[in-house]
């Protein structure tokens, strides 16, 4: 009996040693509280922490990064961006060609691809998705389809027809040339969804996403988590992760503490001040996302007193951007003077920013008829964003700057989905928001955010509701011009008008800070603000 007991002890010790040496595939989130625990399993579970929940999981109907991060794992697009740039490469379409007049695009589709529900991907599926997006009377056009409107100019907008040539060939006809057309198609919003799933779930499709991507949807617990599993039949490289869990942890510091404790594997929305703390921790790694964004304060130009350009210029002079960067960005940002980042071609560096000058701000307010200032509201986002890691604290600093020139601003906030919805309706006065570029084209900033076509209440991306016909003409001309150098000149001129009209205070261009456990590999942050997890692994 003693011998048997000794053998048992030895085996127990050996099992503990082996467990300590081989933990790379043994972690999982497996309880209701979300704690990550070790278990005797080979399953690779990647837990991703973020500040806000998704608004929806229908890629055609969301514009927020929290939603796009998830849909990008579930769906594929016809074309996509290169892993480290915005160069367009094949996706569900293996090749494509455009007619000499720029009016017809023909796509050869990948064969043998299935949606997660087992139905086939083909030209009919592509046509079904485009018809749904572009036709407001289509029986499956449930929602606002903002991105389609932003990028293609309304419903049907610039796309006149989508034709099935054969089972794996589709032809898209345009009413006029659109220079950024192929760049636009690579955006996650134009992912191809299962027609049968859309028919099955109707208006609730946003809760039951079905694509062809590397991960399949399993579960969504609102404001808590979204669970995806590996698509065993994925047409591309096999995903290295078995399961992906998106957890919602609103507070940046609390999220970082979970990363330090190992209950999550990676996170976005890092307070820049915490970068040093992450660097010093041998269990963590710090990652930086290439900067292609702008954080801004929009003034609702349809409301008094923001319909007065003198007031808007006064507010530009009132806000101390350098102080904001010093206090909240730890050097991971640069002051903005234009509504697009300097990393894009077409940026007008000759424009001189409105310098921080409270005395000049007061003088402009007096000239506008507000010598004693006025009262207003300042809307602040409830969640950290890549361009604004601490929105409430930044709002409070701006509130103090405004108070110094006589403007009393009450801070207002809502949950993330409501905040966006009310902003699109134009209910706000001053509105903090930002934008991470989707496709590396200036059109994606200037036309989307400041053209009058996108100041439609209820679906506005132009939340300043800024309307200038000269700017509109320049931006539309730039869309139809195929020569990039000529397009750049048009965008530079548009920025001059926008600067003079001052519908925003462009605040910062940030370099978003991300963090992960040391054993996470293959995470390459993309400039567009999100990326596929297909190459991520846990060692």
Domains of the chain in sequence order:
77-194 (3.90.76.10), 215-289+513-538 (3.40.190.10), 293-510 (3.10.105.10)
Residue 491 is predicted with a pLDDT of 98
Residue 2 is predicted with a pLDDT of 35
Nearest to 344 by CA among 190, 433, 447: 447
3-state DSSP call for residue 292?
coil
- The token pair that represents 204 in the structure block: 């609730």
CA Rg value for the chain:
25
Nearest to 91 by CA among 80, 82, 104, 107: 80
| Residue 71 · residue 191 · CB < 8 Å | yes
Q: State how beta strands 104-109 and 169-174 pair.
A: antiparallel
| Residue 187 · residue 40 · CB < 8 Å | no
Residue 352 burial by CB count (10 A; 0-12/13-18/19+): exposed, middle or buried?
A: exposed
- The token pair that represents 42 in the structure block: 């080979």
Containing 205, the helix (H) or strand (E) segment is none
Sole residue written with tokens 């060692």? 539
- The token pair that represents 362 in the structure block: 């007061």
Containing 164, the helix (H) or strand (E) segment is strand 159-166
Residue 41 is predicted with a pLDDT of 60
Residue 459 is predicted with a pLDDT of 87
Dist. CA 383–CA 214, nearest whole Å: 28
Beta strands in 16-157 (DSSP E): 27-29, 36-38, 45-50, 79-81, 88-90, 93-98, 104-109
Dist. CA 208–CA 195, nearest whole Å: 12
Containing 400, the helix (H) or strand (E) segment is helix 391-404
Nearest to 214 by CA among 192, 187, 232: 232
Residues lower than pLDDT 70 in the chain: 1-41
């Amino acid at each position: 009996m003693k011998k048997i007991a000794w053998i048992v002890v030895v085996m127990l010790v050996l099992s503990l040693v082996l467990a300590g040496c081989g933990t790379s595939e043994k972690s999982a989130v497996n309880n209701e509280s979300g704690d990550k625990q070790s278990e005797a399993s080979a399953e690779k579970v990647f837990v991703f922490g973020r500040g806000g929940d998704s608004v929806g999981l229908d890629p055609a109907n969301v514009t927020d990064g929290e939603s796009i991060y998830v849909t990008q794992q579930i769906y594929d697009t016809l074309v996509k961006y290169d892993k480290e740039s915005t160069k367009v490469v094949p996706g569900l379409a293996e090749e494509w060609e455009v007619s000499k007049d720029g009016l017809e695009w023909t796509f050869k589709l990948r064969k043998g691809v299935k949606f997660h529900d087992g139905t086939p991907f083909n030209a009919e599926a592509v046509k079904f998705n485009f018809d749904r997006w572009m036709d407001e009377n289509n029986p499956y056009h449930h929602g606002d389809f903002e991105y389609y409107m932003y990028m293609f100019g309304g419903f049907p907008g610039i796309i006149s027809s989508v034709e099935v040539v054969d089972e794996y060939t589709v032809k898209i006809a345009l009413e006029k040339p659109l220079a950024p057309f192929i760049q636009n198609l690579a955006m996650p919003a134009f992912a191809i969804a299962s027609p049968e799933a859309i028919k099955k779930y109707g208006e609730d499709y946003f809760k039951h996403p079905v694509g062809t991507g590397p991960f399949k949807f399993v579960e969504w617990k609102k404001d808590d988590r979204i669970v995806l599993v590996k698509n065993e039949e994925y047409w591309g490289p096999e995903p290295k992760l078995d399961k992906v869990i998106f957890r919602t942890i609103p507070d940046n510091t609390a999220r970082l503490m979970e990363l330090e404790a190992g209950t999550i594997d990676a996170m976005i929305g890092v307070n820049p001040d915490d970068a040093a703390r992450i660097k010093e921790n041998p269990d963590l790694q710090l990652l930086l996302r290439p900067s292609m964004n702008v954080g801004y304060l929009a003034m609702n130009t349809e409301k008094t007193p923001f319909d007065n350009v003198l007031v808007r210029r006064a507010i530009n002079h009132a806000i101390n951007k350098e102080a904001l960067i010093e206090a909240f960005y730890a050097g991971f940002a640069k002051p903005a003077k234009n509504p697009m980042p300097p990393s894009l071609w077409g940026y007008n560096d000759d424009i001189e920013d409105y310098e921080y000058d409270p005395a000049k701000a007061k003088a402009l307010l007096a000239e506008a008829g507000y010598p004693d200032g006025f009262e207003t509201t300042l809307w602040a986002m409830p969640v950290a964003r890549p361009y604004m890691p601490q929105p409430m604290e930044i709002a409070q600093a701006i509130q103090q700057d405004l108070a110094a020139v006589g403007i009393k601003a009450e801070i207002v906030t809502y949950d993330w989905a409501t905040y966006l919805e009310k902003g699109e309706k134009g209910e706000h006065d001053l509105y903090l928001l930002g934008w991470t570029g989707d496709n590396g084209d200036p059109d994606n900033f200037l036309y989307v955010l400041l053209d009058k076509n996108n100041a439609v209440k209820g679906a506005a991306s132009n939340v300043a509701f800024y309307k200038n016909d000269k700017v509109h003409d320049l931006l539309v001309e730039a869309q139809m011009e195929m020569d990039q150098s000529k397009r750049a000149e048009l965008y530079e001129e548009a920025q001059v008008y926008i600067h003079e009209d001052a519908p925003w205070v462009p605040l910062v261009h940030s370099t978003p800070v991300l963090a992960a456990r040391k054993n996470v590999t293959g995470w390459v942050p993309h400039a567009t603000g999100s990326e596929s997890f297909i190459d991520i692994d846990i060692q």
